[in-house]
Amino acid sequence: MKYLVLLSEILLSLICTTPLVISAAARPDTQVPKEKEIKIEKKELLWQTQEKTALEILQKVELVYKNARNFQARYNQKVKKPNPDKGNMLLLQSSGKFYRAKEYLLHSKKWKYQALWSIESPVYYRIMTNFETLWLHNPIAQLVQVQAYHSFSAASVFINDLLMGKLNLEKTHDVSISLENLYKIELKPKNVASNLTFVKLRAHPLHFWVEELWIETSDGSTYELNFHSVQKDVPQVPELAEVFTKSNQFLIPQGVSTAH
């Protein structure tokens, strides 16, 4: 059982200081060359432009997921855990398809959330959540493990909340543009007690959904996800209709055991 929980965890989970220009008027004994002042001002302007660009990209990314009624994509994931003897060791690679949908229910004035990770490799496995409960379905063992949504890893919760459009990263993270790519931004949690230490994401240059996501946790583990073959706001998502009941619970297949 512990192996199944660890496997499901792994499969799912599948800034600078402003330069100070001191003028000759402020420090009579120090003469700052005009050329140096101009260079410092240009650096300040560049940093301000990059910060604005990073926030604009982040806002567009979050808007994609906030506005999308449904979203699906194929994904590839790598999870690495620190190894004192060998450095970062590749622990697992997985791939499959991700589906999610949300709907605002007028009668209850609440959002209904549904997400499914259909893992195809290295083993067939399914993870479903309504963002209150998690169902970890191992079809081979004919077993479903049920647990609370927030009992999952911090990286897993972050990934799901991001893709569902539930986050406001501008408030919770310091944001900067990455030097690697114009559409890649870096996020550092403002809360020093966060279990996540660093997040990096690359947005699609036209549609602004996440193409690449990289997360580092406080124990030194890293999670790398790549998304492709994206579709959103399609008329129906039959894959979700097949696994969720009308009351938004997992439709447990007949003959399958459950464990809590």
> pLDDT tens-digit profile of 171-221?
999 999 887 887 899 999 999 889 999 999 999 999 999 999 999 999 889
Question: Which of 248 and 41 is assigned the larger pLDDT?
Answer: 248
Which range (56-65, 147-156, 175-184, 245-254) has the least confidence? 175-184
Taking the model in full, what pTM does it have?
0.80
Which range (28-37, 208-217, 241-250) has the least confidence? 28-37
Query: What contacts 90, CB < 8 A, 6 or more positions away?
Result: 78, 79, 80
Q: Give CA–CA dist 57/169, Å, rounded.
A: 12
The domains of the chain are located at: 2-16+48-259
- To the nearest 10 degrees (0 to 180), the angle between helices 154-164 and 2-12 is 40
Q: Could you tell me the fold of the domain covering 2-16+48-259?
A: outer membrane lipoprotein receptor (LolB), chain A (2.50.20)
Which range (6-10, 12-16, 186-190) has the least confidence? 12-16
